[in-house]
Amino acid sequence: MADFFSDLPEGFVAEALALTTPRDASRLSSVNSFFRSAAEWDSVWGSFVPPERLAKADGGPGSLKEMYLRLCDHPIIIEDGNKSFWLDKCTGKKCYMFAAKQLSIALVNSPNCWRWTSIPESRFTEVAELISVCSLEVSGKVNTSILSPNTTYAGHLVFKTTAEAYGFEYRPVEVCMGDSTNVRMVYLDPEAQNRRRLRSKRRIGIFGRLAFASYSEVPSPCEDNCPKQREDGWFEVEIGEYCYSMGGDEVEEVEISVMEVKRGNLKSGLIIQGIEIRPKNGV
């Protein structure tokens, strides 16, 4: 088998590898030295780099493989510092985070409700810190023209909470990505699962019950609806998913929202870095 492939022009094999995925190209490079050499060609990795990024490379230093890996491991800040962009390492699909500045946040310009602040852990210059509100309303829009086609994307709220945070214990918020029929409930309390065993020993007040048509509709904290800590130290919770298929010249705007407007309890201590969209489970 090795002799058969070694008789082929290396450029031919490189062209074939360019039709696969970054993960497949990397795996095939371990077959033998011939594949390894072909997998280093710029024509292979140039096919995985988005055209708009490739154009900006303009013959810069390093191979296109090195450029691809930089785009995977080091998100770049674009659009006046309000959005970050990177690539999923296995698939080469586009990923983004929209900074809090790019989101619509109700009462964000009221100093008694929110404040803009800078913290070193954020990739953006400013984050939004919740001072005190009764109704939480955060939303954004994603133009499908920036997404990788034929990809199922998941949206995630990326946030932290302060030591004095309150108002989110035992109280889920409504999140949605895309059609309004996709509304689900998640928790923004990083300790929600740890509090679960205490929940059965406490009664949620009558106003908490009246917020839903039925008390049974309040979901219990579990792995699927609770925040997960990221490698960068922030927390994230999945908002929903959207399947983007190549649709010719059709462009849509996908709405993403995080809301809690039914109960009227005061909330404080939420720090929003942004909303991240990336391929669902790397596909």
Given this model, what pLDDT does residue 47 score? 92
Residue with tokens 């210059």, as numbered in its chain: 125
Instruction: Give the number of other Cβ atoms within 10 Å of residue 236's Cβ.
Output: 19
231 phi and psi angles, rounded to 5 deg: -65, -25
* CATH fold match for the domains 2-73 and 76-282: no
10-residue mean pLDDT series, the chain (283 residues) = 60 83 85 79 90 72 88 96 96 97 97 97 97 97 93 97 94 92 93 70 48 58 93 97 77 93 91 97 66
Tokens of 92: 């080469």
Given this model, what pLDDT does residue 179 score? 85
Given this model, what pLDDT does residue 213 score? 44
The architecture that CATH gives domain 2-73 is Up-down Bundle (1.20)
Entry pTM: 0.86
Delimit the domains of the chain by residue range.
Answer: 2-73, 76-282
For the chain, report the end-to-end CA distance as a whole number of angstroms. Answer: 31
Name the CATH topology of 76-282: Jelly Rolls (2.60.120)
